[in-house]
Chains A and B, each alone.
Chain A
Amino acid sequence: MVYYTMRVLILLILGFCGVGVYGQTCCSGGVPMSGNIGLPIADSKAIQLSTSYDLNLLKTLKSGNETLNDQSRERTTQTFLLQAGYQVTDRLAVEILLPYIIQKRIISQFGNEQITQTHGIGDMALLVKYAVINHLYWTVRSGIGLKVATGRSDKTNNNITLNADLQPGSGANDLIFWSALGHGLALRPSTNFHFMGVYRLTGVNENYLNSFSYRFGNELSLMAGLADQFTIGPIITNPSLTFRYRHVQTDTQNDFILPNTGGKWIFFRPGIILSWWRDMALNYYSEIPIWTEVGGVQLSPTVRHNIGILTTLKFGSDEGF
């Protein structure tokens, strides 16, 4: 039990220590969900706990697919994600994702720096997953979930209400459709092809600015890549190379399409997972946009970093920390 307590403690401390730094999201209304949801498959009855820190830096000003020569604006979203999953059976699992979001806007213009910052608990997500195929070389899982409007969408700065994309929450409940496929290559069993698709059907915030309805655009995220596994001394290492396509539809306000929203991106996403101990892994990935097309003129992601720890607790077994 002490081992479990220590493991949970490490997760909590890693989750808390970064709070108070800063953050931002673009066209997503809070949680950087599509890139983080979907814990790996675990043994039956196992509990998975993950904590991660996600930094999304936006300082590339785009007009359509052209980059404007303007470095005066910067947005960051820092998200601290606590994620917990329970493998109900070999095939059925549930997970919950709770973000704490710090949004920051910096304008460096005319020799001055203007900073606006908000933070708070973001929108929580719940996901139920089912392994349609759970084979040694093939896994196919599908899931459905809810993003619940637990985050505030009426944050103010000096008593003045901030606009939607500086809010930690979206004020809307969304439906999430999730699927993932994994395939171990026959030629090299340690190499795995992976695919993940997430579609978020967004709901409506009926009380935006106390009088409008606001809806963030639906979001599609498709990821495909390869991962390998080998050991470096005592460390099990899983490097991966993934490409991610993200399409966010335009936001609407009172059913009118808002200009300068929505876009399509292709990201290159290298990552690595390191396991020193059984059932505990340190993972890191970054996302670098390699193609962008935004609606109108928008600040667009420049780079994203995500680092986290995942641990699996197997109650009822004799396997320890």
Chain B
Amino acid sequence: MKVFKVLFLAIPIFFFTCGTDNPGPINVPGNHQFGDWLIPYDNIYDGGPGKDGIPALLNPKLISAAEASYLSDADLVIGTLVNGEPRAYPHIILDWHEIINDQAGDQVYTINYCPLTGTGMNWKRNINGSINTFGVSGLLYNSNLILYDRDTDSNWSQMRAESVHGRYIGRSADLFPMLETTWLTWKTMYPETMVVSLNTGIDRPYGNYPYVSNQTKEDYREAPFLIFPVTNDDDRLHRKERVLGVRIGGEAKAYRFNDFEGNTIVRTNTIGGQPVVIIGNASKNFMTAYRSVLGGETLSFSGLDQSELPHVMTDNRGNTWDIFGRAVTGPDTGAELIVAEAYIGYWFAWAAFNPEIEIIDF
């Protein structure tokens, strides 16, 4: 009889432990409840490594350009000029960490880069007067990085540049200008640049790209396949073509390198009703954009020869502007153009986040 009693006890225990796979609601600070997402969580995926499984860096060791022998000229970097200090954040490192929390003078910022969408941005880390650090949430939306801030555990969609979940839900990221280009272009423009050292304190095979098949050598950066689904798959261009996307007032446009062949070329366009200047040079491997209004006046620009880099254009008021949208000579010296939400990314990603995106052919 005891035998059967034990048996009847064991069976409910078995089914009880099978009954649930959710440990409970996410602990969301503030008034938001579990389920408050600005993006449909049906389209959010667990990337595999888990929260902080891809370790973000904090104040990494920096070395001079001459010491950065691990970089080849064609390697892509994200260049910044925060506090007037040129720094380079190589894709070789960002591929393995995705987020670098850094500081230049009293300016704090986070370089965030998603290898799956090829998108890099520079966000200010001052939020509501406190200095935040960001980490990799391990979640993806439209195959794109979702960051989290360590102060409130809010989740931030990189390509929406806003918090999509948590206490900061709906808050936009404040942007610093940045430039994605090759190491050669960057160090030629800014020979005094500092660059992140491979001595990150974390053991990774930095020379190896993490998203290439060791069997077929098929490289994610070039092959058409995706690892995670997207909500809008647009086949107007090759999925992995690198385009400059610019988004203002809900309108997005995509610019292609083949419109910037031969030299530094400056083009103007209107996005979301705002005049914008797009600056690009295919051989130097960069494109960027700013709003072209200064003091209420819409400026008109002319490109400078590429030998003048980092100076890229002059305007009708007699100013010369550098690649970071700063007037370096002329009557408005010291003025800065308004940073547009503009960055290079794979076509599929820009189209996934902006189904109505227009491809501009000049």
Inter-chain contact B50/A72, CB cutoff 8 Å: no
Is A120 on the interface with B (CB-CB < 8 A)?
A: yes
Within 8 Å CB of A64, what residues of B?
205, 214
Contact across chains for A70 and B202 when beta carbons are under 8 A apart: yes
User: What does DSSP make chain B's interface, helix, strand, loop or mixed?
Assistant: loop
Contact between A118 and B45, CB atoms less than 8 A apart: no
1/0 per residue, CB under 8 A from A, across B1-33: the answer is 001001100110110011001110110000000
List residues of chain A with CB under 8 Å of any chain B CB.
2, 5-6, 9, 12-13, 16-17, 19-20, 61, 63-64, 66, 68-70, 72-73, 100, 105, 107, 109-110, 112, 114, 116-121, 155-163, 165-166, 209-212, 250, 253-254, 256-260, 262, 295-297
CA distance A297 to B48 in the complex (A): 13
Q: Is the CB of A166 within 8 A of B135?
A: no
Question: What residue of chain A has the Cβ atom nearest to residue B16's Cβ?
Answer: A20
Chain B residues whose C-beta falls within 8 Å of the C-beta of A165 in the assembled complex: 48
CB pair B14 A19 closer than 8 Å: yes
User: B176 → chain A, closest Cβ, in Å?
Assistant: 24
Find out whether the CB atom of A158 lies under 8 angstroms from the CB atom of B17: no
Given the complex of chains A and B, what is the CA–CA distance between A6 and B228 in angstroms?
Answer: 50
Point out which of A61, A69, A157 has the most chain B C-beta atoms below 10 A from its C-beta: A157
Given A119-B18, A259-B210, A296-B210; 12 other pairs, CB 8 A cutoff: A16-B10, A19-B18, A70-B202, A70-B203, A107-B50, A110-B150, A116-B46, A121-B18, A160-B41, A165-B48, A211-B229, A262-B215
Cα distance, A211 to B18, chains bound together (Å): 27
How many chain B residues touch A (CB < 8 A): the figure is 52
**Chain A binding site: helix, strand, loop or mixed by DSSP?**
mixed
* CB nearest to A73 among chain B residues: B53
Contacts of A158 in B (CB 8 A): 22, 25-26, 34
A5 to chain B, nearest CB (A): 6
**A/B interface sample: 7 pairs, CB < 8 A:** A19-B14, A68-B203, A73-B53, A121-B18, A157-B22, A158-B22, A258-B227
Whether the Cβ atoms of B50 and A114 lie closer than 8 Å is yes
- Residues from chain A with a CB closer than 8 A to the CB of B139 are 160
- Interface contact A69-B203, CB-CB below 8 Å: yes
Give complex CA distance A258, B116 in Å.
Answer: 13
> In the bound complex, how far is the Cα of B13 from the Cα of A53, in angstroms?
17
Contacts of B214 in A (CB 8 A): 64, 259, 295-296
**B86 part of interface (Cβ distance < 8 Å):** no
Checking A13, A73, A155, A297 against B50 with a beta-carbon cut-off of 8 angstroms, the contacting residue is A73
* Interface contact B10-A12, CB-CB below 8 Å: yes
Distance from A182 Cβ to chain B, minimum over Cβ atoms (Å) = 35
Please pick, from A68, A157, A253, A257, the residue contacting B204 in the complex, using a CB distance under 8 A. Answer: A68
Q: Are A256 and B10 in contact (CB under 8 A)?
A: no
Flag the segment in B117-125, B216-224, B326-334 that touches A: B216-224
Whether B215 pairs with A9 at a CB distance below 8 angstroms is no
Contacting B21 at CB < 8 Å: which of A19, A20, A119, A254?
A119
Cα A66 to Cα B203 with chains together (Å): 11
Instruction: State in angstroms the CA–CA spacing of A157 and B21 once bound together.
Output: 7
Residue in B41, B51, B203 whose beta carbon sits within 8 Å of that of A114 in the complex: B51
User: Within the complex, what minimum Cβ distance (angstroms) separates B170 from chain A?
Assistant: 20
Query: With A120-B18, A256-B223 in contact, is A161–B46 under 8 Å at CB?
Result: yes
Q: How far is the CB of A2 from chain B (nearest CB, A)?
A: 8
Task: Specify which chain B residues have a CB less than 8 angstroms from the CB of A63 in the assembled complex.
Answer: 204-205, 208
* Closest Cβ neighbor of B45 among chain A residues: A161
For B12, the closest partner residue in chain A by CB is: A16
One of A112, A162, A212 near B52 (C-beta < 8 A): A112
Q: For A114, what are the chain B residues with a Cβ–Cβ distance below 8 Å? A: 50-53
